[in-house]
Structure 1
Amino acid sequence: MKRGVRIVDLGGAHAIILHRPHPVVAALSRQLLAVGLRVTTSWPTLEAEALAADFVFFDADMGFDDQFPWQAGQAPMPLIALIGSEAPGRIEWALATGATAQILKPVGDSGVYSALLIARNAFEARRTLSAEVSDLRQKIGERQTVVRAVVMLIEQTGSEAAAYSALRSQAMDARISLEEAAARVLERAALPRDRRPQGGSS
């Protein structure tokens, strides 16, 4: 087993099947109940309470964007596509919804448990990656704020070293981070001169 992949007990989890009345729903429900999941069905749309579900299975053949109470690719839980038609447009749409696993129709007597595990692990990996990207963007933004503040302070201090020193002093005096101090420098500079705090550095 690869490191980082967790096999978890799915008993008690809630799965919603978003599919028109069809034998597929009955076959899928049997497997989900056997695994220990609680199952509800819905068609043609999901209600707001679906936001609390643990998994959503959806019909990729007749699905459409307005079925979901969230934007495409922003599902708060793993999505599993039920695919009968392999038409490129349908596959592309299923991927755009954010599906992290699939089950081919007709649904037989196996395959659901592995789809659940794959969907959950892929969903968690995607969420972790998204958080890391968001954190990197924030750090890049903070660094750009520091650079902009230093450039502004160079005009007053005459050198890059003196500007960094002035910024560090402001951060230490206010007991805040360098990034916060830089943001304050830029905020003060954006104010009209008669509204800038006394003793401001810009």
Structure 2
Amino acid sequence: MDASVRRLYEDLRSVAVAVVYPPGEDRDLLVEQLKRIGCRIHLCWPFPENPPANADVVFFQVSQLLQGSSAWCASEVDATLIALSEYETPTTLKLLLKTHAHGVLTRPFRSAGILSTLVLARSAKLFQVRQQNKIDKLESTIKSRRLIEKAIRLLGEHHRLDERQAYEHMRGRATQLRVSVAEVAAMVVEASEAMEKLGLSGKPGG
């Protein structure tokens, strides 16, 4: 077994799973299989307004009779979401798409498909988290670069420094203050904006 797959499988033995589904044979089958896998189970019904807290995975019913189920979205929930679909009608499929669920099981549930769905859904969730972290890091980098560029421009306008001199000045201050260049750039921009508000932002010789 591949190491990454083995880790995913072993991880399931400590996973907290919430099952949001009405009592009955279908839920019993799902819960029994999840217990065999080793998951810790929490049953939840009637359908809550918000996903259960402290759950790593949430199996939840998606039905056109339950408007609340369409409000849950994987991008806004920390847990892995696995939809439990009643039917494959156009309306239900539309609700499923809105949830952006990491996995889906359709009635009648079968014990044979639960483990694979759970593993794939957890993998999809981890991939989603990694991608979001990359996006956040990229956005932060872009924001920092723009801030530094603005600070360089301000230092050039008010202190007659060229781009290299302005950057080296900020880098030197960053080293002294033990902060990043971007943080020093933010100080420059904030100071310039404060001076503007006071009407003291004129250029040298202006």
TM over 0.5: yes
**Could you tell me whether the CA contact under 8 Å between 1:14 and 1:38 is conserved in 2?**
yes
Q: How far 1:158 moved relative to its partner?
A: 4.9
SS in structure 1 opposite 2:18?
strand
Q: 1:199 maps to which residue?
A: none
**Alpha-carbon distance change, 144 to 65 in structure 1, aligned in 2, over 3 angstroms:** farther
Higher helix share: 2
Counterpart selection for 1:191 from 184, 194, 199: 194
Distance 1:194 1:57, change over 3 A: closer
Structure 1's unaligned 5+ residue stretches are 196-202
Return the offset for 1:125.
0.6
1:63 and 1:73 mapped to 2: Cα distance?
Answer: 20
2:115 is equivalent to residue 113 of structure 1: yes
Rounded Cα–Cα distance in structure 2 between residues aligned with 1:38 and 1:177: 44
Mapping 1:1-202, distance limit 5 Å = 4-5=4-5, 6-9=7-10, 10-46=12-48, 50-61=52-63, 62-65=65-68, 73-156=75-158, 157-192=160-195
Aligned-residue CA RMSD (Å):
2.9
Asked whether the 8 Å contact 2:147–2:186 carries over to 1, the reply is: yes
Which secondary structure state, in structure 1, belongs to the residue aligned with residue 23 of structure 2? Answer: coil
CA distance, structure 2, for counterparts of residue 88 and residue 103 of structure 1: 16
1:89: Cα distance to partner?
3.4
- 1:50 and 1:177 map into 2 onto residues whose CA distance is 40
Q: 3-state DSSP class of the match of 2:53? A: helix
Could you tell me how far apart the structure 2 residues matched to 1:19 and 1:164 are?
A: 59
Unaligned runs of 5+ in 2: 199-206
Deviates more, 1:50-59 or 1:165-174: 165-174
TM-score with structure 1 setting the length: 0.82
Determine the C-alpha separation between the residues in 2 that align with 1:171 and 1:58: 50
Alignment CA distance shift 1:178-1:12 (3 Å):
closer
What number of residue pairs does the alignment pair up? 196
Partner secondary structure for residue 135 of structure 2: helix
- How far does residue 17 in structure 1 lie from its aligned partner after superposition? 1.3
Q: Secondary structure at the match of 1:110?
A: helix
